[in-house]
């Protein structure tokens, strides 16, 4: 794999992860300030940091107390590098603790929205009100800082809510500037990255495209042929468009129609890529093969495996049509990169991506999105001229509607689900909620119930509507859709989709539920 060298060169803010829930959010906020940021583990040494020569460093929050055995520390030599450092929550406590300050063990914590009083605006808080709301989530509290630090703000339970020693390039905030509940949080992050670190706001999607095009050209060379499996999702679409910009007609896309796509989706993909983007596309009609292999398969994991396996077979057959292809595009995103670099998480589901290809695949991977968050991928897509229908398409699982049908997947059941799903998506769109809702779709739970329609007894399928809000799919809340909207969806589904006589709404968040039903 030659993608390791596809790293960002230029101004970087490193976010040192101390086990925070919010490390990714911090990195994203820095990028919103148009400065590139990357997450690194807290085991990183000062020498390794010096090697990277970052423009600034942010120490994240974390669940531990600096007083417990084994609490993660920062290599203290980092404070001598002359690189500005901002500590957030645990990160701030650590800066205080490692620089002759005191972190006290409170008898109670401070959680949620809190009013903070700013005594001295200093450099970080300058331009923000004397009294402001901040989001707190801590038990210990900094009680003292060394003489060369200035305490700039306090709350009732945090005598040192913010401090700084600008001459030393050290800054700390006990609260969470990265969360939406801290109104002046982004301002503080921007003060840090732009003013304290002096970073330029030049991480734009146009610059990302230029850099990646350059890197792809270097990787693939003058004659290499590249293939890309399009899944219909935004990631593979944007990755393909980016690679196309770099290598032109040396890219061939393969689109496998599994028969498990949403209504109208296959046509739209083919239309967009062939006709609008002028990208060579091999359209494999493989629905029959998928349905054949799914006969009698009801266990969710077995279903996922069957679909994944068939996908690989079909893809491997198609790739022989592209003579001399040596490179394979994958739409791997930064959160996947971070996750694969962290401790094993319990396997909840075996995710099938288009990239769920076998280990012995004989291609070199091209992963032009591996530094990007989802919202950045969308912005790159728009910048590359992809239509909104592709760029703003909701995430869609690799196994498609197969994991939204409980029990056996048959063409008939897929057709019922597609019709109901289309209504859900149309009504979300009509209500102007496309961008607020992370995913909205229909599920066929395989339950029949008794109903009455036109004085006749019915015994037919139920449809479950699932709609969630989320930032990253790791956690999600069920969307509080207006009753009127739910009512319209329900009426339309029952009237327009034959074989359905009941509609229910799923009000489970993640956790404990997952977004998909299987």
**398 belongs to the binding site for ligand XMP (CB under 6 A):** yes
**172 belongs to the binding site for ligand XMP (CB under 6 A):** no
**331 belongs to the binding site for ligand XMP (CB under 6 A):** no
Shortest reach from residue 333's CB to ligand XMP, in Å:
11
**225 belongs to the binding site for ligand XMP (CB under 6 A):** no
CA Rg value for the chain? 26
- How many Å apart are CA 467 and CA 478, to the nearest integer? 6
Shortest reach from residue 473's CB to ligand XMP, in Å:
4
Q: Which is nearer to ligand XMP, 84 or 300 (CB)?
A: 300
Residues 457 to 486: which contact ligand XMP by CB under 6 A? Answer: 473
Q: How far apart are the first and last CA of the chain?
A: 32
SS3 content of the chain, % helix, strand, coil (to 5): 35, 25, 40
8 A C-beta contact, residue 19 and residue 72: yes
Half-sphere exposure for 205 (CA within 13 Å, toward CB): 18
Shortest reach from residue 410's CB to ligand XMP, in Å:
20
**309 belongs to the binding site for ligand XMP (CB under 6 A):** no
Phi, psi of 104 (to 5 degrees): -95, 155
- Residue 228 a catalytic site member: no
- Residue 89 a catalytic site member: yes
8 A C-beta contact, residue 295 and residue 408: yes
Half-sphere exposure for 499 (CA within 13 Å, toward CB): 12
Q: Which is nearer to ligand XMP, 250 or 378 (CB)?
A: 378
Instruction: Find the catalytic residue in 42, 138, 176, 244.
Output: 176
8 A C-beta contact, residue 123 and residue 150: no
Phi, psi of 338 (to 5 degrees): -65, -45
Q: Which is nearer to ligand XMP, 307 or 493 (CB)?
A: 307
Helical ranges in 171-204 per DSSP H: 185-190
**332 belongs to the binding site for ligand XMP (CB under 6 A):** no
Q: Which stretch binds ligand XMP (CB under 6 A): 108-116, 175-183, 280-288, 508-516?
A: 508-516
Q: Which stretch binds ligand XMP (CB under 6 A): 350-358, 359-367, 407-415, 485-493?
A: 350-358
Q: Which is nearer to ligand XMP, 21 or 98 (CB)?
A: 21
Q: Which is nearer to ligand XMP, 56 or 399 (CB)?
A: 399
Q: Which long-range contacts (CB under 8 A, 24 or more apart) does 356-359 make?
A: 356/308, 356/311, 356/312, 356/398, 357/312, 357/315, 357/328, 358/312
Residues 351 to 390: which contact ligand XMP by CB under 6 A? Answer: 351-353
Give the torsion through C-alpha atoms of 103, 108, 113, 115, to 10 deg: -70
8 A C-beta contact, residue 262 and residue 418: yes
**516 belongs to the binding site for ligand XMP (CB under 6 A):** yes
**510 belongs to the binding site for ligand XMP (CB under 6 A):** yes
Shortest reach from residue 242's CB to ligand XMP, in Å:
19
Strand 141-144 and strand 102-104: the pairing is antiparallel
- Residue 253 a catalytic site member: no
Shortest reach from residue 416's CB to ligand XMP, in Å:
20
Q: Which is nearer to ligand XMP, 79 or 311 (CB)?
A: 311
Q: 222: Cβ–Cβ under 8 A, 6 or more apart, which residues?
A: none
Q: Quick one: which of 114, 272, 439, 490 contacts ligand XMP (CB under 6 A)?
A: 439
Instruction: Find the catalytic residue in 11, 38, 89, 228.
Output: 89
**305 belongs to the binding site for ligand XMP (CB under 6 A):** no
Q: How many amino acids of this chain bind ligand XMP (CB under 6 A)?
A: 14
CA distances to 6, 101, 149, 500 from 136, in Å: 37, 20, 22, 48
- How many Å apart are CA 188 and CA 179, to the nearest integer? 12
**399 belongs to the binding site for ligand XMP (CB under 6 A):** yes
Q: Which stretch binds ligand XMP (CB under 6 A): 63-71, 222-230, 290-298, 344-352?
A: 344-352
**395 belongs to the binding site for ligand XMP (CB under 6 A):** yes
Shortest reach from residue 400's CB to ligand XMP, in Å:
9
- How many Å apart are CA 331 and CA 373, to the nearest integer? 11
**91 belongs to the binding site for ligand XMP (CB under 6 A):** no
Shortest reach from residue 439's CB to ligand XMP, in Å:
6
**257 belongs to the binding site for ligand XMP (CB under 6 A):** no
Phi-psi region of 98 (alpha: psi -120 to 50; beta: other; left: phi over 0): alpha
* Residues classed as catalytic: 89, 176, 178
Binding site for ligand XMP (CB under 6 A): 349, 351-353, 395, 397-399, 439, 473, 510, 514-516
């Amino acid at each position: 794999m030659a993608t390791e060298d596809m790293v960002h060169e230029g101004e970087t803010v490193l976010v040192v992860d101390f086990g925070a829930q919010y490390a990714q959010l911090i990195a994203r906020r820095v990028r919103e300030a148009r400065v590139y940021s990357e997450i690194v583990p807290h085991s990183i040494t000062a020498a390794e940091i010096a090697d990277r020569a970052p423009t600034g460093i942010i120490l994240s929050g974390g669940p531990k107390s600096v007083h417990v055995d084994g609490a993660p520390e920062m290599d203290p030599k980092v404070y001598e590098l002359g690189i500005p450092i901002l500590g957030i929550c645990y990160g701030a406590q650590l800066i205080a603790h490692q620089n002759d300050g005191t972190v006290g063990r409170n008898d109670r914590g401070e959680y949620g929205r809190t009013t903070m009083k700013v005594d001295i605006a200093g450099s970080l808080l300058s331009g923000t009100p004397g009294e402001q709301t901040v989001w707190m989530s801590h038990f210990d509290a900094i009680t003292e800082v060394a003489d060369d630090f200035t305490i700039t703000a306090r709350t009732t339970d945090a005598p040192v809510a913010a401090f700084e020693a600008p001459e030393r390039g050290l800054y700390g905030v006990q609260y969470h500037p990265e969360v939406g509940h801290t109104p002046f949080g982004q301002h503080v992050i921007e003060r840090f990255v732009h003013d304290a670190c002096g970073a330029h706001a030049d991480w734009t999607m146009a610059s990302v495209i230029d850099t990646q095009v350059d890197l792809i050209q270097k990787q693939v060379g003058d004659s290499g042929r590249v293939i890309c499996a399009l899944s219909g999702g935004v990631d593979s679409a944007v990755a393909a468009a980016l690679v196309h910009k770099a290598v032109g007609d040396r890219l061939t896309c393969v689109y496998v129609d599994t028969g498990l796509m949403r209504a109208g989706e296959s046509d739209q993909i083919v239309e967009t890529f062939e006709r609008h983007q002028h990208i060579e596309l091999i359209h494999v009609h493989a629905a029959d093969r998928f349905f054949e292999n799914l006969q009698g398969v009801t266990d969710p994991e077995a279903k996922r495996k069957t679909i994944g396996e068939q996908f690989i077979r079909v893809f491997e057959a198609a790739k022989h049509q592209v003579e001399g292809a040596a490179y394979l595009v994958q739409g791997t995103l930064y959160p996947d990169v971070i996750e694969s670099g962290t401790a094993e998480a319990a396997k909840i589901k075996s995710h099938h991506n288009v990239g769920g290809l076998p280990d012995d695949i004989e291609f070199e991977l091209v992963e032009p999105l591996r530094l990007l968050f989802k919202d950045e991928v969308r912005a790159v897509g728009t910048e590359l001229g992809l239509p909104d229908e592709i760029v703003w398409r909701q995430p869609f699982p690799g196994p498609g509607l197969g994991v939204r049908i409980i029990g056996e997947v048959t063409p008939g059941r897929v057709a019922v689900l597609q019709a109901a799903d289309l209504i859900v998506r149309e009504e979300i769109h009509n209500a102007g909620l496309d961008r607020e809702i992370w995913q909205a779709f229909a599920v066929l739970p395989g339950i029949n119930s008794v109903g009455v329609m036109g004085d006749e007894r019915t015994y037919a399928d139920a449809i479950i509507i699932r709609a969630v809000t989320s930032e990253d799919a790791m956690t999600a809340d069920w969307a509080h859709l207006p009753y009127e909207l739910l009512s319209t969806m329900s009426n339309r589904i029952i009237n327009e989709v034959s074989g359905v006589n009941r509609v229910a709404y799923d009000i489970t968040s993640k956790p404990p539920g997952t977004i998909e039903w299987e």
